Structures are given as structure tokens and as C-alpha cells.
Amino acid sequence: MRRILVIGGAGYVGTVLTEHLLEQGYIVRCFDNFLYKNNHCISSFLRNKKYQFTYGDMCSPSDMSKVFDEVSDVVLLAGLVGDPITRKYPKQSRLINELGIENVIDIANGKGTKRFIFVSTCSNYGMLSSNEIADEEFSLNPLSDYARAKVKCEKYLMSLFGTTDFKCTILRFATAFGLSPRMRFDLTISEFTKELVIGNELTVFDANTWRPYCHVRDFARLIQIVLEAKETSVANQIFNAGGDDNNYTKKMIVDEISHYIPKAKIKFLERGSDPRNYKVNFGKVRKVLNFKPKYSVTDGIKELLIALESKVFQGIIEEKNMYGNYEIDYKNDF
């Protein structure tokens, strides 16, 4: 039975992936250090005999060296995720998102693992002109420290091809949406929906800029597909992770939410602090791995509306940090 090491398994995507893999019969070993004080998010898994949790820091060689016993595959999700949090903590960002990830890669080599899935980002494409659509061969133009670190780690992994016992696959994630045990309301779809549900005026910068989006449950399903795919299909391969139908502008998202909140208060402004604009081609993941998302942006908005109107997230204002990547609790002692 395959034992999957999910590094960053207590996070927004990691908890959903953990639930999915357990349902599919895998043994899941979660490794996390609760950067965002999100300790409670794994509590529902603890009684599952196929779930194992190890607390530790991926920047620590001693912590990492303890978790590879009997591990068949690795999924590396961990890091400071997003442009705002990496700008706020530049020193910690470099340590975690560059040196920490390289530390994991180096220690994983020689442990007998089969697959190594590294989660990168479509933010690597940066800023495209209106008639361009980025496939995996498109030139990278990272505009933030977050994306630059991802590009650096991608290159490092690809440079090791043929010298590692594991076969690596890089997934460039679209912007995530959807419900999760470790919910985030600092991502575009969830943030816009939440602000309009609670009656705030939503300020939208650069409304016509494009982003691709993908539901966290679709990400989990894609990772399983990569784990089970033929080695020749995924070894040393990069895939944009998402679907063509979920390329949206901010204006399109706002318009969709407004169908359900007709009196929503929205203000549009130009020249925000985030210049990214990229529409992404997901043809390769569809053709090679037969992957197409099950969930649309509309599906994600609807489930958020139900959860918010049902008062599932009562503390989203008072306990803001619990519901997003705003602050970290991190001390480096090695």
C-alpha cells in the first residue's frame, strides 16, 4: 500500500488532498509546522488509522530525515504561499520557499521514493499581452519573490533529472478556490464573495486582468492522477494545473457573484499593486492525463454562498488570521 508524504498537509490544499487520498485508500503522512496556527485543521483525521502526522520544519535537515521511512511518494505543497505574505516576510520567505524546498529535494533523493510532485504556480507567467495564452513552453516572467522562488525551485528540480531515484512532476497551479478545512478568504473568489456577502463595498483593481482558477478538490484529484499515471507520462514533466473554462477576469468573477447578490456594492479602480495578467492553456494536462476540472468558478461561488449564509464561518472578521495567509508564527532554531 502506497504511503504518501504530504509536506504542507495541514494547509488549504493539503487538508483537502489528505481527505481525498484517505478516501482513495492511500496511507497519508502529513508533515507540517502550522505556520499560520492552523493546528485544528487536522483534528478530523487523527482517528483514521491510515493517517500519520509529524510536526516539523522542512528547513531542518534533522526534521526532514525522520519522515521518509516507508514513504512511496512525496507531494510538496509547503511554503509561504502568495505574493502578500512573501512581501511581508522577505527573510523567512527566502529561507522557506527557496532553501527549505531545496533541502526537501536533496534529502528525498536516495530514500527510495517513486514520485515527487512539486506544486508550483501559474503566477510564473507574470504578465501577458491580451492575445497571448501561456502553455508550459511559454517564457516565464515572475514578477514577485513568491513566483521567482517557484521558478528557481522548478529549475533546480529539472536539473536533477537522471540523478535522483524519484521521478519528478511539476504542477503549476491555477489560483485555488473552494471550501477547505483550512479555509482561506484572502484568495480572489473567496475574498470577493465574502466581502459582498457581509455587505462591504468591494474595491476591485484592474478588473479586466485575467487569471486561471481551479477548485481545491480538482487539484486533489489531479495529484492522484499523477501518482497513478504511467511513469513515461509524468517523469520530468511540467503541467499547468487547471482548465481552460476557468480562465476568468476579475470583472467576470464580480459579475457572477452579483447574480446572487444584486445589491452588491462594487468600486472599480485601475493601477493596483498587482500587475499580473495571464491567461493559461491547459491542453497538455487534458491530453496527456485526461484531466478536466469538475468544478466551475460558478460552482465555487455557490458553495461559498451557502457556507457563508449558513454562518459556517462565524469568525471571519474577528479571527481574520485563521482564515488566510496574513501572519506567520515561525522561529528558526537551527
Four-point Cα dihedral 11, 115, 147, 325, nearest 10? 0
Q: Does domain 3-177+215-245+279-294 have CATH number 3.40.50.150?
A: no
Rounded Cα distance, 146 and 276, in Å: 13
Across 257-266, b (16+ Cβ under 10 Å) vs e yields beebbeebeb
Burial class, 306, CB count within 10 angstroms (exposed 0-12 / middle 13-18 / buried 19+) = exposed
C-alpha cell belonging to residue 197: 456577502
Domain ranges of the chain: 3-177+215-245+279-294
In a structure prediction context, what are the per-residue pLDDT tens digits for the chain, which is 334 residues long? Answer: 899 999 999 999 999 999 999 999 999 999 999 999 889 999 999 999 999 999 999 999 999 988 999 999 999 999 999 999 999 999 999 999 999 999 999 999 999 999 999 999 999 999 898 789 999 999 999 999 999 999 999 999 999 988 999 999 999 999 999 999 999 999 999 999 999 999 999 999 999 999 999 999 999 999 999 999 999 999 999 999 999 999 999 999 999 999 999 889 999 998 877 778 999 999 999 999 999 999 999 999 999 999 999 999 888 887 888 899 999 988 776 5
pLDDT at 270: 85
Burial class, 207, CB count within 10 angstroms (exposed 0-12 / middle 13-18 / buried 19+) = middle
C-alpha cell belonging to residue 220: 486533489
Q: How far is CA 199 from CA 64, 192, 265, 266, 303, in A?
A: 45, 11, 8, 10, 18
Q: pTM of the prediction?
A: 0.95
Rounded Cα distance, 246 and 232, in Å: 28
C-alpha cell belonging to residue 73: 511518494
Residue whose grid cell is 502568495: 82
How is 97-114 classified by DSSP, letter by letter? IIIIHHHHHHHHTTS--S
pLDDT at 334: 54
How is 215-274 classified by DSSP, letter by letter? EHHHHHHHHHHHHHS-HHHHTTEEEEES-GGGEEEHHHHHHHHHTT-TT--EEEESS-S-
Residues with Cβ within 8 Å of 233's Cβ and at least 6 positions away in sequence, in order, are: 288, 289
pLDDT at 209: 93
In the sheet that holds 247-249, the strands lie side by side as 175-177, 210-215, 247-249
Rounded Cα distance, 239 and 173, in Å: 9
3-class secondary-structure state, position 90: helix
The dihedral sign for the CA sequence 143, 147, 149, 155: negative
